[in-house]
């Protein structure tokens, strides 16, 4: 085997970083891979990311916002194909089976192997007949991926099953857990002692993330278990969270925070709750925030929805609750805090070990490199 570094074109439709670290996190960690990211619309504001970005849609010197540039996507498809070909990669790794045609065309024209990672929304879109032009376009991309990709990597077993249900070739499917950086997400240097049990929720403030269920569970639980619920993130239910905070002082809304803020919040919490649920026919494909929490030594309570339960070791690193059920969620939160402090700390240590051994970015990189090398 040739010992020179593998030249990989990472490709995607649109990417705003942060928060979309998973697109480049493997490339940043694998020394034997020289990767650059190509997309229709790219934006990078975290300068710690060293992977070069190449956007097909111009920003006109910053005069066009990220969302304004989205309207240019159909106009720069061929340009993106040419940019990928000019890079002359050994392989192409595309994220999301949407807006994949430029990568498929570059692969076919140049004879370069194509790998595609499935993330969830791209699969759920294919579980019903297309209802408009946009959905027909995504279907065309999806079918091209199924026909021409060498390997297709769903991010959980749950998503792999949905991909088969959608019609993808099962022989091409290989589950690839994305993993989290256990060198970055680490337990606090000294154990933090909270005056009250402290629960944290981090992510989009939406129905899909179970925000109403979590708020109800917290309020129902408070009379028998006084606690603090810290909510971090932004989204369509922001006002609902603000209103809940005004009526229930134990609910604390902190708004959006950066990656470092996420780490600090996870380290300071006793428990992360991820109340994800089924919404508009979709479910969570994975739920990386649960892995980030466990890597910080923080146990989790997760709803049994989608691939989320695959991100913990039930009873050892946390507990699962029935989805869309505030009483079940409250019961599992109470179950954790009914443990004595030593048992809670042991669960935190187990959580850290689970991620390091089974869901770390390092393990994920090793597996991805095996996939890459199989196509050399």
CATH number at residue 95: 3.40.50.2000
Q: Both 47 and 159 in a single domain? A: yes
First to last CA, the chain: 8
Cis ω before 343 (30° cut-off from 0): no
Q: Both 20 and 93 in a single domain? A: yes
Q: Both 148 and 237 in a single domain? A: no
Give the ranges where 51-113 is alpha helix by DSSP (H). Answer: 66-69, 77-87, 101-110
CB burial readout 59-89, b (16+ within 10 A) else e:
beeeebeeeebeebbeebeebbbebbbebeb
Residue identified by tokens 């990767």 is 35
State the pLDDT at residue 1.
Answer: 46
Give the residue numbers spanning the domain of 167: 6-179+360-374
Question: Is position 190 within any domain?
Answer: no
Question: Is position 193 within any domain?
Answer: no
Nearest to 334 by CA among 191, 211, 200, 226: 226
Q: Both 19 and 147 in a single domain? A: yes
List beta partners, residue 11: 38, 94
Q: Which helix (H) or strand (E) holds 153?
A: strand 151-154
What is the rounded radius of gyration, in angstroms, for the C-alpha atoms of the chain?
21
Question: Is position 184 within any domain?
Answer: no
State the pLDDT at residue 17.
Answer: 85
Q: Both 97 and 160 in a single domain? A: yes
State the pLDDT at residue 2.
Answer: 57
Q: Both 248 and 303 in a single domain? A: yes
Cα dist from 17 to 46, 274, 363, whole Å: 7, 23, 23
Q: Both 158 and 240 in a single domain? A: no
Question: Pairing relation of β-strands 114-118 and 91-95?
Answer: parallel
Question: Is position 301 within any domain?
Answer: yes
Q: Both 130 and 207 in a single domain? A: no
Q: Both 75 and 216 in a single domain? A: no
Q: Both 206 and 326 in a single domain? A: yes
Contact 245, 253 (CB under 8 A): yes
Question: Is position 185 within any domain?
Answer: no
List beta partners, residue 38: 11, 54
**Domains contained in the chain, number:** 2
Question: Is position 165 within any domain?
Answer: yes
Question: Is position 117 within any domain?
Answer: yes
| Block mean pLDDT (10 aa), the chain, length 376 | 84 89 93 96 88 86 68 87 97 96 97 98 93 92 98 98 98 97 96 94 97 98 98 97 97 95 98 97 96 98 98 98 98 98 97 98 97 94
Q: Both 157 and 41 in a single domain? A: yes
Q: Both 244 and 119 in a single domain? A: no
Cα–Cα dist 110/2, whole Å = 20
Question: Is position 188 within any domain?
Answer: no
């Amino acid at each position: 085997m040739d010992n020179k570094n593998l030249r990989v074109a990472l490709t995607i439709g649109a990417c705003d970083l942060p928060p979309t670290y998973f697109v480049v996190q493997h490339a940043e960690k694998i020394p034997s891979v020289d990767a650059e990211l190509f997309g229709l619309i790219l934006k990078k504001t975290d300068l710690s990311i060293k992977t070069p970005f190449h956007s097909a849609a111009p920003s006109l010197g910053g005069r066009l916002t990220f969302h304004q540039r989205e309207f240019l996507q159909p106009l720069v498809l061929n340009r993106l194909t040419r940019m990928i070909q000019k890079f002359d990669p050994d392989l192409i790794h595309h994220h999301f089976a949407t807006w994949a045609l430029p990568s498929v065309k570059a692969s076919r024209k140049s004879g370069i192997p194509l790998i595609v990672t499935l993330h969830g929304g791209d699969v759920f879109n294919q579980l019903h007949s297309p209802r408009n032009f946009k959905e027909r376009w995504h279907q065309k991309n999806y079918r091209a991926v199924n026909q021409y990709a060498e390997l297709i990597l769903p991010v959980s077993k749950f998503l792999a099953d949905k991909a088969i249900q959608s019609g993808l070739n099962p022989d091409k499917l290989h589950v690839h857990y994305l993993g989290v950086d256990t060198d970055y997400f680490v337990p606090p240097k000294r154990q933090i002692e909270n005056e009250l049990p402290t629960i944290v929720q981090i992510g989009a403030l939406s129905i899909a993330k179970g925000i109403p269920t979590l708020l109800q569970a917290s309020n129902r639980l408070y009379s028998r278990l006084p606690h603090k619920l810290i909510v971090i993130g932004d989204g369509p239910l922001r006002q609902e969270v603000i209103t809940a905070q005004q009526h229930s002082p134990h609910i604390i809304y902190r708004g959006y925070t950066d990656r470092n803020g996420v780490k600090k919040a996870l380290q300071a919490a006793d428990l992360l709750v991820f109340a994800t649920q089924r919404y508009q026919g979709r479910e969570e494909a994975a739920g990386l925030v649960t892995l980030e929490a466990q890597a910080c030594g923080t146990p989790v309570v997760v709803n049994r929805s989608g691939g989320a339960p695959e991100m913990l070791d039930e009873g050892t690193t946390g507990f699962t609750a029935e989805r869309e059920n505030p009483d079940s969620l409250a019961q599992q939160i109470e179950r954790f805090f009914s443990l004595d402090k030593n048992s809670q700390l042991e669960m935190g240590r187990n959580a850290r070990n689970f991620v390091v051994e089974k869901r770390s970015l390092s393990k994920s990189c090793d597996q991805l490199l095996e996939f890459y090398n199989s196509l050399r």
